[in-house]
Structure 1
Amino acid sequence: MLLRLRVSLPDRPGVLGQVARAFGVMGADILQVTVLERESGRAVDDFTVSWSAIFSAAELSERISVVPGVRVEAAWPTRELPGANPDYDLLGHIATDPTRAVLTLVDAVPDLISAEWAVALDAVTGEVMHGSWQAPEVVPAAKFTAIRPTVHSEGTLHLASVPVDDVHLVVARREGPAFHRAELDRVARLVDVVSVLAHAGAQRA
């Protein structure tokens, strides 16, 4: 199975190597490391690992946290395949059929940031215009009408909202941590490109 772990660690030489060795001892094969932030002498990295699940994710996290100064903030399943370039695939699909830009974006974005579902909300009525697999039929729209990208948590349910023209893209994650600002920025940039492609397609039509 593929597992993602969000790890906070001291930002100094040698620590990343210690973490990598700890993963290896546990039988986890590191497929990708994404640096989310580096500040105040610490870094926050997302590790995507191939995991045989001999131990539970909690046990794996506990063993990795044995490395001095290292904290595993969360561990959760992911469907994002390292090296698959899903962002480019998404943009290619949208360029082929820009009339379905928002629908295609909603269906694809959960896998891009290891989330569980996404919906497009009508900016005026708050109704769900389209939902990905596992998405609920009703989402509390009032919390997601900000004019800028935002994040929100309700207990273990973490949500990110990004305005897209006359709709709001809402992405949800329950198995895992709150959305990091780097993840929100990634979605916002992707939405900007999708919007440009959709408008260009409408003009050609």
Structure 2
Amino acid sequence: MSYLLRVYLQDRPGSLGLLAVSLGSIGADILSLDVVERGEGYAVDDIVVEVPRGALPDTLITAAEKVDGVRVDSIRPYTGVLETHRELELVNDIAGAGRERLQVLVDAAPGVLRVAWATIITSGGAGAIQLFGSSSAPETQVTDASWLPITHAQELDPESDWVPPLWRDMDTRLAAAPIGSPGKALLLGRPGGPDFRPSEITRLGYLSKIVTTVLAQP
């Protein structure tokens, strides 16, 4: 079983090694590590770990927070494919996908951007229209597109009136970026969090701009 931990830790020599040792003491094997954000004196890392069958997630939290200066922000099961150059491979796949480009985007976006689901939303005469959705996209779809048009990547207020009640009940964090035009957006969801970090929104913005350029090519 694999889990994705988002941890805050003091940005000092040896802290990551101590964390690895502590996780290893309960049989957890680190499969990958991504630095999400680095600030003055701290770092935010996404760590994918594999644990023995039957191990409880709470043991990972306990082991991680035994290390001085470490705090676990979130933990959730992880089923994504580990890739070294995820964004580059996604852009390459989109470029060769022909008419299925947007479906390729939403299928791969959850693994690339570490979210639960992705959809392409546009506005129509009767409200929101979902054009494409990942296999994990919620059955309850958004019907109100009053937040469109959108001109840049941004985190969206999960308590806004347009957010379906079920999404709010699941404490779903939301982010979006324009795809092709301000009236069409890539919408991302993370039920239960964690919050989108500023660096993640910046990363989403760069990806959306590159994808928009690719989509403009014949």
TM-score range, shorter chain: 0.7 to 0.9
SS, match of residue 142 in structure 1? coil
Partner of 2:163: none
1:162 to 177, 185, 207: 177
Whether contact under 8 Å (1:79, 1:114) holds in the other structure is no
1:116-195 aligned at under 5 Å gives the runs 116-123=116-123, 125-135=127-137, 136-139=139-142, 140-143=144-147, 145-152=149-156, 153-154=158-159, 156-166=171-181, 167-195=184-212
SS, match of residue 141 in structure 1? coil
Identical aligned pairs, as a percentage?
31
CA 1:39–1:171: 2 relative to 1, 3 Å: same
Whether contact under 8 Å (1:7, 1:45) holds in the other structure is yes
CA 1:130–1:137: 2 relative to 1, 3 Å: farther
SS, match of residue 120 in structure 1? strand
CA deviations over 1:4-35 (Å, ceiling 9, x no partner): 10111111111111111011111111121111
Q: Distance in 1 between matches of 2:213 and 2:120?
A: 17
CA 1:15–1:113: 2 relative to 1, 3 Å: same
CA 1:15–1:158: 2 relative to 1, 3 Å: same
Q: Distance in 2 between matches of 1:72 and 1:57?
A: 11
CA 1:129–1:174: 2 relative to 1, 3 Å: same
CA RMSD of aligned residues (A): 2.1
List runs of 5+ in structure 2 lacking aligned partners.
Answer: 160-167
Aligned residues, how many? 201
Partner of 1:72: 72
- Structure with more helix by fraction: 1
- Larger mean CA deviation between 25-34 and 116-125 belongs to 116-125
Whether contact under 8 Å (2:152, 2:205) holds in the other structure is no
Whether contact under 8 Å (2:32, 2:47) holds in the other structure is yes
1:84 is displaced (CA, Å) by 5.2
Q: Give the alignment's TM-score, normalised by structure 1.
A: 0.87
Q: Give the alignment's TM-score, normalised by structure 2.
A: 0.82
Higher relative contact order (CA 8 A, sep 6+): 1
1:176 is displaced (CA, Å) by 4.0
Q: Distance in 2 between matches of 1:26 and 1:175?
A: 25
CA deviations over 1:105-145 (Å, ceiling 9, x no partner): 11211121222211111145521111111323521433454
